């Protein structure tokens, strides 16, 4: 088999890249380790920046998103029961859209016309500095695809980044001493907008997927086990971390998904090795506090698609040569913001009384300063390219 581009991974990054390339007439095969049903069953993030919304439109996959997605003009931050709304619309005339990553994935899958090979096992990347090719097994048969370029969109644990010699890659990492326990429930959200809450018992987030489906999180220690959390225990803990009026209004129910995700900041540099490009979670991880993971993956592949199209159609290498530096500049700004929001809103084992006062002062500054609110709004809704 031959293809101009082989994409590893059919998450949102791989599917979006494949779609943008096919619309420009560039041939790309996607290799995905899991089944399509498995990929569609994963519950992930749910906030789209305007750049991501525009990219869904460019991919001609935005119709359902516009019909079902909820435009949010702001978010609420709460600190030990005190609340501050960050009004994106008034501060910077921007908004975000609440629409699940699961739905984004489904829409991109549906729009795709090119080949996606699911349940592709033992994917291996070869001759990245020369004439690249990829081997894999499907239904017990080993296959080979020769290509011009490979896009590693296979997430943090994927094979693409691991195929780069360690000496050619520098990595930067911070692992946080806690995770998020998340619950999905078919109940109306407790508030119209998202609530990010700091409490001395730990962080909590009230999010949503629709007018009838809600997503809630509480900070838990890294080694916590999901089996230790009955629905009742989860709702009790969440209520304790919200202000009393919100806790009172909370509509609880039987969870339809419950899982714990660790929090990590990670960046690999550079994001090109020979004919291989890394994008999305394969290249970087942010803690979910700033809602940046999916959006960053989307902005990576928008730049990568343009670069590959430029090379394949106009025969210019300018875009692919600039890819790594260009996306890393944006990635580090999103890393900074995600780290900052995480630091403000969580309790850390080593925060101490001084650290708690600093967190409170940060919240008070935010509450009293339009400049500080504008900065949060600008970062949350997505920085310009």
| DSSP H helical ranges for 24-120 | 36-41, 50-58, 63-68, 88-92, 101-111
Counting contacts by CB under 6 A, is residue 304 touching ligand PHB? no
Sign of CA dihedral 182, 188, 194, 197: negative
CB 133 within 8 A of CB 127: yes
Binds 47: which of ligand PHB, ligand APR, none (CB < 5-8 Å by kind): ligand PHB
d(CA 273, CA 324): 10
* Shortest spacing between CB 301 and ligand APR, in angstroms: 8
Of 47 and 303, the one with the shorter C-beta distance to ligand PHB is 47
**Positions marked active-site:** 72, 196, 288, 292, 380
Sign of CA dihedral 317, 319, 324, 326: positive
Q: Considering only the C-alpha atoms of the chain, give the largest distance between any 2 of them, rounded to a whole number of Å.
A: 63
* Shortest spacing between CB 259 and ligand APR, in angstroms: 13
With CB under 6 A as the contact rule, which of the stretches 60-68, 233-241, 247-255, 288-296 interacts with ligand PHB? 288-296
With CB under 6 A as the contact rule, which of the stretches 38-46, 216-224, 245-253, 360-368 interacts with ligand APR? 38-46
DSSP E strand stretches across 203-249? 204-208, 214-221
Of 210 and 367, the one with the shorter C-beta distance to ligand PHB is 210
**Interface residues for ligand APR in 54-113 (CB under 6 A)?**
101
* Shortest spacing between CB 228 and ligand PHB, in angstroms: 21
* Shortest spacing between CB 180 and ligand APR, in angstroms: 12
Select the residue interacting with ligand PHB from 47, 159, 303, 376 (CB under 6 A).
47
Select the residue interacting with ligand PHB from 112, 198, 215, 346 (CB under 6 A).
215
Q: How far is CA 63 from CA 68, 98, 171, 181, 333, in A?
A: 9, 14, 38, 32, 30
DSSP 8-state code for residue 177 = E
Select the residue interacting with ligand PHB from 207, 219, 265, 342 (CB under 6 A).
207
d(CA 258, CA 332): 31
With CB under 6 A as the contact rule, which of the stretches 70-78, 150-158, 198-206, 358-366 interacts with ligand APR? 150-158
Of 202 and 280, the one with the shorter C-beta distance to ligand APR is 280
How wide is the angle at C-alpha 268 spanned by C-alphas 266 and 270, nearest 5°? Answer: 155
Q: How far is CA 384 from CA 63, 217, 381, in A?
A: 24, 29, 10
CB 108 within 8 A of CB 16: yes
Select the residue interacting with ligand PHB from 190, 291, 308, 366 (CB under 6 A).
291
CB 268 within 8 A of CB 332: no
With CB under 6 A as the contact rule, which of the stretches 157-165, 232-240, 243-251, 286-294 interacts with ligand PHB? 286-294
Binds 291: which of ligand PHB, ligand APR, none (CB < 5-8 Å by kind): ligand PHB
Provide the binding-site residues for ligand PHB, judged by CB under 6 A.
Answer: 45-47, 194, 207, 215, 288-289, 291
């Amino acid at each position: 088999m031959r293809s101009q581009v082989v994409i590893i991974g059919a998450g949102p990054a791989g599917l979006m890249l494949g779609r943008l390339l096919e619309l420009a007439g560039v041939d790309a095969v996607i290799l995905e380790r899991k089944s399509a049903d498995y990929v569609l069953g994963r519950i992930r993030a749910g906030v789209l920046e305007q750049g991501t919304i525009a990219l869904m439109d460019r991919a001609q996959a935005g119709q359902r998103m516009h019909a079902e997605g909820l435009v949010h003009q702001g978010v609420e931050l709460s600190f030990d029961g005190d609340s501050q709304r960050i009004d994106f619309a008034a501060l910077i005339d921007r908004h975000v859209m609440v629409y699940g990553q699961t739905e984004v994935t489904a829409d991109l899958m549906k729009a795709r016309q090119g080949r996606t090979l699911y349940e592709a096992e033992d994917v291996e990347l070869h001759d990245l500095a020369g004439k690249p090719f990829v081997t894999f097994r499907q239904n017990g048969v080993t296959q080979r695809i020769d290509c011009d370029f490979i896009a590693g969109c296979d997430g943090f644990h994927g094979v693409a980044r691991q195929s780069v010699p360690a000496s050619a890659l520098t990595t930067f990492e911070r692992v946080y001493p806690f995770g998020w326990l998340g619950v999905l429930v078919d109940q109306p959200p407790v508030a119209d907008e998202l609530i990010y809450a700091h409490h001395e018992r730990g962080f909590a987030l009230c999010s949503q997927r629709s007018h009838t489906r809600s997503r809630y999180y509480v900070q838990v220690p890294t080694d916590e086990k999901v089996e230790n959390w009955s629905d009742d225990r989860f709702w009790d803990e969440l209520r304790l971390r919200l202000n009393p009026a919100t806790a009172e209004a909370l509509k609880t129910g039987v969870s339809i998904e419950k899982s714990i995700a660790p929090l990590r900041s990670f960046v690999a540099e550079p994001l090109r090795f020979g004919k291989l490009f890394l994008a999305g979670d394969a290249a970087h991880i942010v803690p979910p506090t700033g809602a940046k993971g999916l959006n960053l993956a989307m902005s990576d592949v928008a730049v990568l698609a343009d670069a590959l199209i430029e090379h394949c159609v106009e025969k210019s290498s300018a875009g692919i040569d600039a890819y790594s530096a260009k996306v890393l500049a944006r990635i580090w700004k999103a890393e900074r913001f995600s780290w900052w929001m995480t630091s403000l809103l969580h309790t850390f084992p080593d925060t101490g009384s001084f650290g708690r006062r600093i967190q409170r002062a940060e919240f008070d500054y935010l509450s009293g300063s339009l400049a500080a609110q504008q900065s949060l709004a600008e970062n949350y809704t997505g920085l310009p390219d």
